[in-house]
Chain A
Amino acid sequence: MDIQERVTHTPDFTPGNALQIPIYRVLQQDGSVIPGAVVPDLDEAQALKIYHAMVFTRVLDERMLAAQRQGRLSFYLQSTGEEATTVGFAAALDDADMIMAQYREQGALAYRGFTVEEFMNQLFGNDQDYGKGRQMPIHYGSRELHYMTISSPLATQIPQAAGYAYGQKLAGNKHCTVTVFGEGAASEGDFHGALNMAAVLKVPVIFLCRNNGYAISTPSSEQFAGDGIAPRAVGYGMQSIRVDGNDVLAVCKAMQEARKLAVEQNEPVLVEAMSYRLAAHSSSDDPSGYRNKAEEDKWRAKDPILRMKNWLLAQNWWDEAREKQLLEELRKQVLAAMKLAQQRPTVRLEDLITDVYDEPPALLRQQLESLKAHIRKYPAAYPKSAGGVDHG
């Protein structure tokens, strides 16, 4: 019925908690499937691929935080505890669907096949870094893997994802865009503008919110009133689902269904994955100042990787010997790649001025030439670039 025709004659307010969305869960922590739960269609090969990416992400995060603590790396940002969400969503997509993530979704990149060398080249900003040493560690991107380069400002990727998906719809290529963001970023204006535009313009985009409880130190209880992020989509006239973000099967199934709505019906969808950021916000953060260990332990007991492992064991698709071997291999790979990446040459001085425009304008070329003249005069002060001033 038309909005103008729905009339009442008593002053009835709709309560702020009128819409409470439940959490869709499939797996229990012991790896058993909850009776009656709807499970995704996953074969052994894909299940093992997902598990591999989750374990790789955990190993990478542990090793690189240690490297940061040793002073080898300026900065790092872990995704510990959220691997089921970040890998599970990617596993539900077509590999050519666009991903526009926030910064804690290395699991999705790992699933798509970003190599350990590619991770390391970005982290160390060496001559092989696609980003040419311009962004802080963890700002990955891959054109080949349809993974948009990460941008630090929060929520900017959300309206961009709506626009990207609109282009996909016009191209008629049956692909969608998935944008990922935290529950804190969902407070930004860009989030609201994006959801409204996507709903009005009917674009094939999936808004995936990782509700991990914290925006740096601010708990979600101080981020929003009401029933979290999922009901907001309904306000914009969009379908919405809340899912257990530590349950890889639930994440995967919810995303498979969301993708169908997006691609087959040009319907935007919101998925809110409930999880917990077990690690600090980043290597620059110390959570002991704002939360207690008991809370962390409660969530550590819900480890999403362990939950999936238990399920794999129950399927007879996995065993402890293979687990041990996988961990050893991955740790070796990460360490070896880190050593190589660290030894690689640094970026070219010329790349100070490239990619600002398609071609450097005259003024930028002049500025580079004066800089080179200055470095030639004081080479000792600029050890990174002094050697390369006169040869690319």
Chain B
Amino acid sequence: MAEMNLLQAINNALDIAMASNDKVICFGEDVGVFGGVFRATSHLQEKYGRARCFNTPLVEQGIIGFANGLAAQGSVPVAEIQFADYIFPAFDQIVNEAAKFRYRSGNLFDVAGLTIRTPYGGGIAGGLYHSQSPEAYFAHTPGLKIVVPRNPHQAKGLLLASIRDPNPVLFFEPKRIYRASVGEVPEEDYELPLGQAEVLKEGADITLLAWGAQMEQIEKAAELAEKEGISCEVIDLRSILPWDADTVAASVMKTGRLLISHEAPLTGGFAGEIAATIQERCFLYLESPISRVTGLDTPFPLVLEKEYLPDHLKLFEAIKQSVNF
């Protein structure tokens, strides 16, 4: 085991992926010598050469188009989009191309090797174009997998699994905790399962569900609630697509209450999908309406980001409301 922050864990996962398979290729804006604006690809060019780790011109649709072709050829591209806010020029290449490559060719061709890494989320004074959480746009696209890690150990295992998964994967990295989240990470090669949620803490009164950086807020809120005698079950969804409805439903059948939280706006957010599925599967077990604690239905603010974000206090209030319904 070694102590690593989330960025170091990602860098370590990329290093292991490149060492264990020479078809793995990392590229994106500033990814080469500089190692990426957050340094997630530090030293990879030095170690594996310019052919396997390189800068691209500044063109997101080109980067993902290029990555799709490279994956179709049999390589294992790990493309970086510098901020999730800038992924939209590549929306067509992700939604119409990567996601449908295998389906439309009847499995003659695929982009099995493709992984797209991108930092997402607020809390870094990034304003409306360095803070967004666009996972819900992509969750509406069959053919993609979407993964969001919450800490360094998870990040390494989930990224290695994403790179090796035979489907295109969007890997959203919680940039606010890139350096703040530090933990023990096995130095060896390991993978964590995609499509499986993880129950972090068992409880009896309410299920708290989130992913990525929001897990930190959920855990803080759970501590506050425990002090008031409310027993919280805490679940990290980990994969947005496909998502683990079984684990969430089993938990809600036990607790009778569900709170879902994400930074993205409420309307059309992924919490809505979860709420719809869980009320269908757990209707007779529910003691209160499913609660969604999310960002506001506005662009992401700058000066008022603390007010906008679904922090532990907003979560704590929602937990009490749900329990006292």
Contact = CB atoms under 8 A, between A and B. Distances in A.
A384 B289 CA distance: 43
A98 B68 CA distance: 14
A167 B195 contact: no
Nearest to B105: A149
A139 interface: yes
Contacts of B201: none
A177 B74 CA distance: 14
**By CB atoms of chain B within 10 A, which of A139, A171, A192, A193 has the most?**
A193
A171 B22 CA distance: 11
Contact of A363 (B54, B64, B74, B245): B245
Interface in A132-185: 132, 134-135, 139, 141-143, 148-149, 151, 153, 156, 158-168, 170-171, 177
Contacts of A156: 65, 92-93, 96-97
Contacts of B142: 356, 364
B62 A159 contact: yes
Interface residues of A, number: 50
Nearest to A164: B69
Contact of B61 (A129, A170, A190): A190
A189 B104 contact: no
**By CB atoms of chain A within 10 A, which of B77, B109, B195 has the most?**
B109
Interface string B49-84: 001101011010111111111111111010000000
A318 to B, nearest CB: 36
A168 to B, nearest CB: 7
B62 A196 contact: yes
B247 to A, nearest CB: 12
B102 interface: yes
A160 B68 contact: yes
A62 B132 CA distance: 52
Nearest to B74: A167
B295 interface: no
Contact of A162 (B25, B65, B166): B65
Nearest to A236: B57
A164 B72 contact: yes
B65 A159 contact: yes
Contacts of B229: none
B108 A142 contact: yes
Given A142-B108, A200-B57, 16 more contacts: A141-B106, A148-B72, A162-B69, A163-B66, A163-B68, A164-B70, A167-B69, A170-B25, A190-B61, A190-B93, A196-B62, A356-B142, A357-B145, A358-B166, A361-B195, A363-B245
15 contacts: A98-B73, A100-B69, A130-B108, A153-B92, A156-B97, A160-B69, A160-B72, A162-B62, A162-B69, A163-B68, A163-B77, A164-B72, A190-B62, A355-B105, A357-B102
Interface of A: 98, 100, 129-132, 134-135, 139, 141-143, 148-149, 151, 153, 156, 158-168, 170-171, 177, 189-190, 192-194, 196-197, 200-201, 351, 354-358, 361-364
